[in-house]
Amino acid sequence: MNTPAHIIINMLCLGRQDTSTILTPVIIGALLPDAPMFVFYFVEKVIKGTPEVIIWREAYHQESWQNFIDVFNSIPLIVFGLVLTGWLGSQIGIVFFSSMFLHIVGDFPLHHNDAHRHFFPFSNWRFQSPVSYWDPNHYGTIVTIVEILAVIISCVVLVQSYQSMTGRISVGLIGVSYLAYFIYVFTVWV
pLDDT at 144: 94
Contact 122, 76 (CB under 8 A): yes
- For the segment 102-128, the average pLDDT, to the nearest whole number, is 95
Contact 98, 29 (CB under 8 A): yes
What CA–CA distance (Å, rounded) separates 186 from 76? 36
- For the segment 11-17, the average pLDDT, to the nearest whole number, is 92
Contact 38, 144 (CB under 8 A): no
- Answer whether residue 190 shows pLDDT above 80: no
**Which amino acid would we find at residue 132?**
S
How much of the chain exceeds pLDDT 70, in percent? 99
pLDDT at 7: 98
pLDDT digits (tens, 9 = 90+) for 169-187: 999 999 999 999 999 888 8
pLDDT at 16: 82
Helix (H) or strand (E) holding 40: helix 35-41
pTM of the shown model: 0.94
What CA–CA distance (Å, rounded) separates 93 from 133? 29
How much of the chain exceeds pLDDT 90, in percent? 91
- For the segment 101-112, the average pLDDT, to the nearest whole number, is 96
The band of 1, judged by pLDDT with boundaries at 50, 70 and 90, is very high
Provide the Cα torsion 40, 5, 135, 144; round to 10°. Answer: -160
The band of 141, judged by pLDDT with boundaries at 50, 70 and 90, is very high
- For the segment 50-58, the average pLDDT, to the nearest whole number, is 94
Contact 10, 103 (CB under 8 A): yes
| Residue extents of the structural domains in the chain | 3-189
pLDDT at 23: 96
- Answer whether residue 137 shows pLDDT above 90: yes
Examine residue 109 and say whether the peptide bond preceding it is cis (omega within 30 degrees of 0): no
Task: Tell me the HSE value of 180 on the side-chain side, using a 13 A CA sphere.
Answer: 8
Q: What is the separation of C-alpha 80 from the centre of its chain, rounded to a whole number of angstroms?
A: 19
- For the segment 110-136, the average pLDDT, to the nearest whole number, is 95
